[in-house]
């Protein structure tokens, strides 16, 4: 298995500058759509009900990256797969988490508040978490043969901060300003725009895979169970920690979904940015992990939301 994974690490993915431009536009569009549903008043839930909000923030930004690091140590995948998992875990919640929370009869206000906080803070938290846990991974294998492969994966953290701000910060700020300035128009377009965002995200993943479909089909069996375990860990972290903190059922559902649905589109866009990861690097493992995450978390999230929709809330 490890020898096959090493082949995946050395796969040179085909991705043109025009493809990267499409990824950037797609992600900006998606984040603008997410921001239309964010109001400054939404943050009042964090202030008025801080325990549930803080539980969700800790679950997503502290526990998930930490537990992902431990999962990587246990599974011992190849370096690019390991760092791909860490990068996905460092990203904010996915753009469809609010829809899933609503479907699951979860606390929609809490879900929106957590999405708002995660999206805004990701400008700093995504690069920070990736730097911290990625470096821990490098140091953990400092005396191992993996060190030779890890060294080229060191990135310019300033460039990553700058890129995340452009990809997330600007579209989110514009979305919030648009919703504030044109509330009536926003109400008319927000639902179809969210649907379009979901479709756009799927198209974005397909576009990434289209030029590499043979590679993806050849190696998907190697990452299928890794992503399944990683996503189950994310969902389980949200549910277990919120249960430990004695949050009500309606809040546990929201926190579980927010922790388990990751913005893997951001991870893909960062991977293919030549200013962050030079083109000569072999990032096959990272890209396939993020791409399959993008597909799998939609399936797992909708399945969980559908099951919860049929189950009464426990007061």
DSSP secondary structure letters along the chain: -HHHHHHHHT------HHHHHHHHHHHHHHHHHHHHT--GGGGHHHHHSHHHHHHHHHIIIIIHHHHHHHHHHHH---HHHHHHHHHHHHS-B-TTHHHHHHHTT--HHHHHHHHHHHHHHHHHHHHHHHHHHHHHHHHHTTTSTHHHHHGGG---HHHHHHHHIIIIIHHHHHHHHHHHH-HHHHHHHHHHHHHHHHHHHHHHHHHHHHTTHHHHHHHHHHHHHHHHHHHHHHHHHHHHHHHHTT--HHHHHHHHHHHH-B-HHHHHHHHT-TTTS-TTS--HHHHHHHHHHHHHHHHHHHHHHHHHHTSPPP-
- Domain membership flag for residue 314: no
- Domain membership flag for residue 253: yes
Top pLDDT among 291 and 205 is at 291
pTM: 0.78
Q: 67-78: per-residue pLDDT in tens?
A: 999 999 998 888
- Domain membership flag for residue 313: no
Average model confidence (pLDDT) for the chain? 78
- Domain membership flag for residue 297: yes
Q: 127-170: per-residue pLDDT in tens?
A: 889 888 988 888 876 645 444 444 444 455 566 666 667 766 78
Residue 148 is predicted with a pLDDT of: 43
- Domain membership flag for residue 159: yes
What's the pLDDT band for 291 if we cut at 50, 70, 90? confident
- Domain membership flag for residue 56: yes
| pLDDT of 4 strictly over 60 | no
Indicate the number of domains in the chain. 1
Q: 226-282: per-residue pLDDT in tens?
A: 999 999 999 999 999 999 999 998 899 999 999 999 887 778 777 777 777 766 666
Residue 258 is predicted with a pLDDT of: 92
What's the pLDDT band for 15 if we cut at 50, 70, 90? low
Q: Which residues constitute the domain of residue 66?
A: 2-308
- Domain membership flag for residue 315: no
Residue 257 is predicted with a pLDDT of: 93
CATH number of residue 103's parent domain: 1.20.1530.20
Q: Span 288-300, mean pLDDT?
A: 83
Q: Span 8-22, mean pLDDT?
A: 60
- Domain membership flag for residue 302: yes
């Amino acid at each position: 298995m490890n020898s096959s994974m090493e082949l995946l690490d050395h796969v040179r993915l085909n991705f043109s500058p025009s493809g990267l431009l499409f990824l950037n536009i797609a992600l900006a569009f998606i984040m603008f759509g997410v921001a239309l549903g964010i109001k400054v008043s939404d943050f009042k839930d964090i202030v008025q009900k801080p325990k549930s909000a803080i539980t969700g923030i800790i679950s997503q930004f502290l526990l998930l990256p930490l537990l992902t690091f431990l999962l990587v140590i246990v599974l011992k995948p190849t370096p690019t797969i390991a760092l791909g998992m860490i990068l996905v875990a460092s990203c904010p919640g996915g753009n469809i988490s609010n829809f899933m929370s609503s479907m699951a009869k979860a606390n929609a206000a809490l879900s929106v508040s957590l999405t708002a906080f995660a999206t805004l803070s990701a400008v700093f938290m995504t690069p920070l978490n990736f730097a911290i846990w990625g470096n821990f991974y490098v140091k953990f294998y400092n005396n191992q043969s993996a060190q030779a492969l890890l060294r080229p994966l060191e990135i310019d953290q300033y460039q990553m901060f700058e890129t995340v701000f452009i990809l997330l910060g600007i579209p989110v700020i514009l979305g919030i300003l648009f919703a504030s300035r044109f509330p009536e128009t926003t109400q008319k377009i927000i639902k179809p725009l969210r649907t379009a965002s979901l479709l756009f995200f799927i198209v974005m993943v397909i576009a990434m895979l289209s030029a590499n479909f043979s590679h993806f089909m050849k190696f998907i069996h190697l990452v299928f169970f890794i992503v399944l375990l990683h996503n189950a860990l994310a969902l389980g972290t949200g549910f277990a920690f919120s249960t430990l903190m004695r949050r009500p059922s309606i809040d546990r559902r929201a926190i579980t979904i927010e922790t388990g649905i990751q913005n893997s589109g951001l991870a893909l866009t960062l991977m293919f940015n030549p200013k962050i990861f030079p083109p000569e690097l072999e990032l096959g493992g990272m890209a396939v992990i993020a791409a399959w995450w993008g597909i799998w978390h939609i399936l797992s999230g909708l399945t969980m939301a559908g099951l919860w929709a049929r189950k009464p809330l426990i007061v």
